[in-house]
Each structure stands twice: as C-alpha cells, then as structure tokens.
C-alpha cells in the first residue's frame, strides 16, 4: 500500500519535462497513433490502476489540472503544507480501509475454515489430533518416524479449501529438503506421523498454518486461511551426530 502511495504522489510531483518538449493540446478522444499518444495512454492506465488500489475517490478534473500544472511547470495551486496534509489524510484513510477489509476477510476465512474442518473430520480415514491437526494417510511408508531434528526430502502441493493450488514442488521440478522443526506447526506435527515412502494429506487450521496476518503466495493465501497440503515423504535424512 505504501508503495502505491509513493508511486501515486511521485506522479503528481514529477518535475516538468525538458524545455524542448511541449505539452500537446488536450483532446477528449485522441486517436492513439503516435508514440507519444500511446505512451501517454499507457501512463494514464498505469496511474489509474495504482489509484484504484487506494480505494479512494478521484476527481478527474482536478487530477488533470494537477498533471497539466506540473507538466507545464506552473505554480502549484496548493501549498506544500496543504499537499502534506492531504497526503497524510488519504494515507490514514487507506490504512483504515485496509484494516477493515483484512478483518472482514479474516473473519470470513475463519468461519469457512471451521465449517470445512467440522465436515472433514467425519470423512473416512481422517485423524484429528489434540492440536486440531487433521490428517489422512494416503500411503503407508516404511522405516522410522522423523523427529524434530531430522531433515526430510518431500514432494508436496498446497491447496486452499476451495481446491485452488498455491504452491507445488512438483511444478518447480524437484523435491524440497526441510528440517522437521523449522516448518509450519501443522507440518512439523504431521511429518512425524509418516515414514519414508509414505504419502499424507494435512488439513491445517490457521493456528497451525499461516495465522491471522498472512497473505502469501502472491496474495492467494488470505488471513486465517485453512489450508491443505498433500505431502510425499521421499527420504528421511538423519543428522550425522545421530548416526555416530
């Protein structure tokens, strides 16, 4: 959000163009033929795309006036103090709107996740632990169960409860090595319940996954999201000190 604000306000206070460049006359419906016209149109779309993310009202007449004054190096119609005050006011307003929106999404995700887990725990083969982790063994492995200090080589994919995939080691072209105690709490608990060669499906409530503030994987994972991981434990790597 701050980056958007910086971009927006930097556009409004750009220094005037070089003296050999003259502003073209404003047209209501210019034909996009010249490089200048196409570039100007592109910049307009880019700026408005950024402004739309601020979720605040834009007065286009005032917007164009400010752009023209800046481009033509005319005196500002607002004082530096007025500009600073309006930037602060909009910034605080945007932060409040963002906070309210996150709270709304968080509550929605929490409610939907709880309903999903309540229904899921009734399904055949689903085991529920004291922490709230739900898991389902797809394929039994062999050997010993991993411990906290062990490293494991895994293939996995992560899903939202609507089935949307947000991560996949398969699509990255190779498995991943992780230390059991350094992964998500739900993963750490679940990994200790399968052996090498085994496959399992984890159903993680928010407190065992990314929690209330997380919005990762390109914004796909919202706050308080319940997530699903399908994990294939390929290899258990026992620390050298344990082997000795």
The Cα–Cα gap between 220 and 204 comes to: 16
Q: Are 116 and 202 in contact (CB under 8 A)?
A: no
- The pLDDT profile of the chain, 244 residues, written as one tens digit per residue, is 444 444 444 444 333 333 333 444 445 677 888 999 899 899 889 988 888 887 788 888 898 899 899 989 999 999 999 999 998 998 888 888 888 888 999 999 999 999 999 999 999 999 999 999 999 999 999 989 999 999 999 999 999 999 999 999 999 889 999 999 999 999 999 999 999 999 999 999 999 999 987 766 667 899 999 999 999 999 998 666 555 4
Q: What token pair was written down for 81? A: 């103090």
| DSSP summary character for residue 180 | G
CATH 3.10.50.40 domain locations along the chain: 110-243
Spatial contact of 71 and 17, defined as CB atoms under 8 Å apart:
yes
What is the per-residue pLDDT across 46-93, written as a single tens digit (0 to 9) for each?
988 888 887 788 888 898 899 899 989 999 999 999 999 998 998 888
d(CA 202, CA 12): 49
Can you name the CATH fold of 110-243?
Answer: Chitinase A; domain 3 (3.10.50)
Residue 204 CB-density burial (10 A; 0-12 exposed, 13-18 middle, 19+ buried): buried
Distance CA 6, CA 94 (A): 13
Q: 138: how many CB neighbours lie within 10 A of its CB?
A: 14
């Amino acid at each position: 959000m701050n980056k958007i604000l910086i971009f927006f306000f930097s556009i409004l206070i750009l220094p005037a163009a070089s003296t050999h460049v003259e502003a073209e006359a404003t047209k209501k419906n210019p034909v996009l033929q010249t490089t200048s016209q196409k570039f100007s149109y592109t910049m307009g779309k880019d700026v408005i795309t950024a402004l739309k993310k601020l979720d605040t009202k834009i007065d286009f007449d005032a917007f164009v006036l400010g752009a023209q004054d800046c481009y033509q190096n005319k005196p500002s119609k607002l004082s530096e103090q007025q500009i600073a005050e309006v930037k602060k006011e909009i910034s605080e307003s945007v932060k409040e709107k963002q906070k309210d929106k996150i709270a709304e999404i968080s509550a929605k995700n929490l409610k939907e996740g709880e309903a999903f887990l309540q229904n899921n725990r009734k399904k055949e083969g689903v085991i529920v632990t004291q922490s709230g982790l739900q898991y389902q063994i797809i394929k039994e492995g062999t050997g010993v169960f991993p411990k906290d200090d062990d490293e494991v080589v895994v293939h996995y994919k992560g899903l939202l409860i609507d089935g949307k995939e947000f991560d996949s080691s398969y699509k990255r072209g190779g498995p991943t090595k992780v230390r059991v105690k350094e992964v998500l709490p739900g993963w750490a608990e679940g990994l200790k319940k399968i052996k090498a060669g085994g496959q399992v499906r984890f159903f993680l409530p928010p407190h065992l996954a990314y929690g209330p503030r997380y919005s990762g994987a390109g914004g796909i994972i919202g706050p308080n999201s319940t997530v699903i991981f399908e994990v294939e434990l390929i290899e258990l790597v026992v620390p050298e000190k344990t082997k000795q």
